[in-house]
A = this chain, B = another copy of it.
Amino acid sequence: MAGNSFGEIFRFTTWGESHGPAIGCVVDGVPARIPLAAEELQRWLDKRKPGQSRFTTQRREADEVKILSGVFEGQTTGTPVSLVIENQDQRSKDYGDIADKFRPGHADYTYWKKYGIRDYRGGGRSSARETAMRVAAGGIARKVLDHILPQPVTIRGALVQMGPHRIERANWDWDQIDGNPFWCPDAQAARDWEGFLDGIRKAGSSTGAVIEVVASGIPAGLGEPVYDKLDADLAKAMMSINAVKSVEIGAGLEAAALSGEENADEMRLDGNRVVFTSNKAGGILGGISTGQDVVVRFAVKPTSSILTPRKTVDRHGQETEIVTKGRHDPCVGIRAVPVGEAMMAIVLADHLLRQRALAGHVEA
C-alpha cells in the first residue's frame, strides 16, 4: 500500500536510502530448488554499477550483494530471499545546500509536501540508488524463468536514442551492445554519441534517452485481462523507474499514425507453429503474450542535476537559486538499461507464475 513492493506472486520489497547504512530487498515468491549464488546476481549489478566510464557518476560503490536468507546448500528453499548491499561512498557532507532548497525536476518538493520530512542526503529514498535492488531481484527473476521454461529466454536492453539522436534501425546488431559505453546496438551511432555526450558532460548539462528492452523465448498466454494485462504491468514497471516519462509497446506511439491494414500482424504457419509476419504488437495482444518477442520502449528525461543555476524555492517559503553540485550522470538513461531489463524479467516471471496458478493444465 505504501508502494515499496512490486509483483503479485514473485513479489519483492525494497528498502533503504541513498546515504543510509545499506539498501536491500526481500524477494518473496521464489520457487524452491532453484540453484542460486550471490555471484549470479552480482553479474547484473556490475552492469549497472556507477563509475564504469566517464559517462556515468563517479560515485564509487562496489555494490556487492549478499544473500541473507532463503538459500540453503546452494538452492532456494521457497522462503524469502533477503538481499543487502552496504553503502560505502556516501559523502554526506556534499549535500548541505539541498537540505533546505528544493531542486527543480527532483522529488525534493514532493517528498516534502507528502511527508513533511525528508532524508535529503543524496535524494534519500528517491535516489536512483534504489534501482540496484531491482537489478538484483531481476537476477532472481531470470533464474525463475530459466528454471521453469524449457526454452531459453533472452532479455536484453539497448539504448536506441540519446538526446535527439536515434540509432539507425537497419544497423541493429546485438553484438555491439557490450562494445560501447552506452549499450548501443548501432556502432556508428555509439561513436557519434561519444562526442555529443562529452559536450553535454563538459557543459555540466544533461540529456535524455530512449531504451528498448526485448524478451525472446516467452510463451504465448502470459498476462491477465483486464487490468493486469502484460503490457499494463510492463508500463507500470517501466514508468516506476526513476526519470522515465513514457512507455511504449511494439509500434507504440507510432501506431497512432498507422492504418488498420498496416498495424495488424498477420498470422501464418511454420510447420505446426503459428508465426506472425510482423510484430507491430510488440508480442502482446489483448494484454496476453503472443509468443513473439516482447518489445518495450521507455524514455528517460535528462537528469535535473546540472551546473546551471536554477530558480527555486526553499522549505521556509523563500525564493532562491540552486546549482546541483556533486557527482551525477550526464545521461541517466545509460544506467537505466540494466534496470529496464530487470523489470522486464520481474514482470515476466511474475506472470509466468500467475499463469501456472490458473492455467497450468491448459495445452491448447
Contact of A359 among B24, B32, B264 (CB under 8 A): B32
A16 at the interface (CB under 8 A from B): yes
Taking A31-B361, A72-B118 as known contacts, 18 extra A-B pairs with beta carbons closer than 8 A to each other, sorted by chain A number, are A1-B8, A2-B228, A3-B28, A13-B26, A15-B79, A105-B265, A110-B287, A114-B288, A116-B362, A125-B225, A229-B239, A232-B237, A235-B239, A254-B299, A260-B308, A264-B310, A354-B357, A360-B360
Q: How far is the CA of A303 from the CA of B286 in the complex (A)?
A: 12
Give me 14 A-to-B residue pairs in the complex whose CB atoms sit less than 8 angstroms apart, sorted by A's number: A1-B8, A1-B11, A21-B68, A31-B361, A32-B114, A77-B124, A110-B286, A207-B260, A232-B236, A236-B239, A245-B256, A253-B253, A261-B308, A357-B357
- Interfacial residues of chain A within 32-86, with CB under 8 A of chain B in the complex: 32-33, 68-70, 72, 75-82
Contact of A24 among B3, B14, B68 (CB under 8 A): B68
Closest B residue to A224 by beta carbon equals B3
Question: Do B208 and A263 touch across chains, with their CB atoms under 8 A apart?
Answer: yes
Contact of A117 among B15, B75, B254, B282 (CB under 8 A): B75
Known: A77-B117, A253-B299, A308-B261. Is A16-B82 also a contact (CB below 8 A)? yes
Interface string of A248-280 (1 = CB under 8 A from B): 111111111111111111111100101001001
A88 at the interface (CB under 8 A from B): no
A221 at the interface (CB under 8 A from B): yes
Closest B residue to A22 by beta carbon equals B68
Q: How far is the CA of A224 from the CA of B359 in the complex (A)?
A: 20
Chain A interface size band reads 35 or more
Name the B residues within 8 Å of A77 (CB-CB). Answer: 17, 115, 117-119, 124-125
Known: A29-B358, A226-B130. Is A301-B256 also a contact (CB below 8 A)? yes
- Interfacial residues of chain A within 202-225, with CB under 8 A of chain B in the complex: 205-210, 220-225
Known: A259-B205, A268-B311. Is A2-B16 also a contact (CB below 8 A)? no
Among A14, A69, A277, A291, max chain B CB count under 10 A is at: A69
A107 at the interface (CB under 8 A from B): yes
Known: A2-B28, A72-B117, A113-B364. Is A251-B245 also a contact (CB below 8 A)? yes
Task: Give the distance to chain B from A289, nearest Cβ to Cβ, in Å.
Answer: 7
A302 at the interface (CB under 8 A from B): yes
A186 at the interface (CB under 8 A from B): no
Name the B residues within 8 Å of A206 (CB-CB). Answer: 259-260
Among A31, A246, A256, max chain B CB count under 10 A is at: A256
